[in-house]
Amino acid sequence: MFNKKLIDIYYYNTYENHQISAVDMHAEDLESNKLICYPVIQGERINYQNK
């Protein structure tokens, strides 16, 4: 069993995408035996701060 206080958000970047991506571990069922996969974000996205 996981200590839920230690599990938070997993942040990562790749060689192709230097923008920080995140996976919120609180949004997943960590007690499940099911494998969860997310596609790797290949390109950077523009984050408009005034829209």
pLDDT tens profile 1-37: 555 555 688 888 888 888 888 888 888 898 999 998 9
Q: Evaluate whether 10 touches 22 at the Cβ level (below 8 Å).
A: yes
Q: How many CA atoms lie within 13 A of 29 on its CB side?
A: 5
φ, ψ dihedrals at 24, nearest 5°:
-80, 110
pLDDT tens sequence across 32-47: 999 989 888 888 888 8
Q: Which pTM value belongs to this model?
A: 0.62
- Confidence at residue 47, expressed as pLDDT on a 0 to 100 scale: 80
Listed in order, strand segments (DSSP E) in 1-51 are: 9-12, 21-24
